Homo-oligomer: A and B are copies of this chain.
Amino acid sequence: MTAVRRVGVLGARGKVGAEVVRAVEEADDLELVASLDAGDALEELVSAGAEAVVDFTHPDAVMDSLRFCAEHGIHAVVGTTGFDDERLATLRGWLGDDPGAGVLIAPNFSIGAVLMMRFAAAAAPFYESVEIVELHHPTKADAPSGTARRTAELVAAARREAGLGPVPDATSTGLDGARGADVAGVHVHSVRARGLVAHQEVLLGGVGETLTIRHDSMDRASFTPGVLAGLRWIADHPGLTVGLEHVLDLD
């Protein structure tokens, strides 16, 4: 097993980047060698001897950084958003047929959120009913959350593949909105209350029993174990990988 030791952080002065900086500093097997933010020269990564970078920056900046990394054989663990098929194809081109560097891009670095989604999809074929309740602080602008939508889509796909029809629901009278939002046939409910941080519950129901998978994120720092797991995995996995589930070996 090859292991990255020297790490550079891009976006180091942002809220998320600052958490990454702290997590890398606290990890015994990693060393923080560069902390860059907008305006800093990427060449510093080379002079500092960075073997890998963590990039939580901006869609406008990330492609330039990744091209630089690919050219210099620096691995990248990327939480920046905005990757579409075109960008991914471009990345693959830069990495080439015999990539010297690995790039891991993940929309969600929370290990718990990824496990919740995978378990929900794995259990879905065995249950007649499934419903999602996500709970967040009241300053969140979107409802349902992106994680809830993604979970619903994964669960709906697993149900289709297993040949399951629509969930049973005899509701014939009621108030608008009571049964939540419909995402690919899965009912999703969004609770917003002061004191909450970020929580989600997937409830699967069959005759006489329910199975509930719940993820509670109480702290912004909860994504850092996923980033560290990515750093420890990337040197052995050259080329482009999308999704933390590959790091968690859940396939």
Q: Are B115 and A211 in contact (CB under 8 A)?
A: yes
Whole-angstrom distance between the alpha carbons of A140 and B127 in the complex?
Answer: 19
Chain A 189-206 per-residue mask, 1 if CB under 8 angstroms from chain B, else 0: 111111111000001111
Q: Which range holds the interface residue count of chain A?
A: 35 or more
Whole-angstrom distance between the alpha carbons of A174 and B177 in the complex?
Answer: 12
Q: Are B178 and A180 in contact (CB under 8 A)?
A: yes
Q: Given A193-B129, A195-B207, A213-B119, verify A144-B178 contact (CB < 8 Å).
A: yes
A237 lies within 8 A of chain B by Cβ: no
Mark out the residues of chain A between 163 and 216 whose CB falls within 8 Å of any chain B CB in the assembled complex.
167-183, 187-197, 203-216
Most buried by B among A110, A119, A144, A229: A119
Q: Are A111 and B180 in contact (CB under 8 A)?
A: no
Task: Count this chain's copies in the assembly.
Answer: 4
The interface residues of chain B lying within 8 Å CB-to-CB of A191 are 131, 133, 180, 187, 189, 203
Q: Are B211 and A218 in contact (CB under 8 A)?
A: no
A80 lies within 8 A of chain B by Cβ: no
The interface residues of chain B lying within 8 Å CB-to-CB of A197 are 218
What are the 5 tightest A-B residue pairs by CB atom distance, in nearest-first order?
A208-B219, A193-B205, A208-B222, A129-B193, A195-B205
Residues of A at under 8 Å CB distance from B?
Answer: 110-112, 115-116, 119, 122-123, 126-131, 133, 135, 138-144, 167-183, 187-197, 203-222, 224-225, 229, 248, 250
A-B contact pairs, 26 of them (CB 8 A): A110-B209, A115-B126, A119-B119, A119-B122, A129-B192, A129-B193, A129-B194, A131-B191, A131-B192, A133-B191, A138-B167, A141-B170, A141-B171, A144-B175, A168-B194, A170-B192, A174-B190, A175-B181, A177-B180, A187-B192, A194-B205, A194-B206, A195-B208, A195-B209, A208-B221, A209-B222
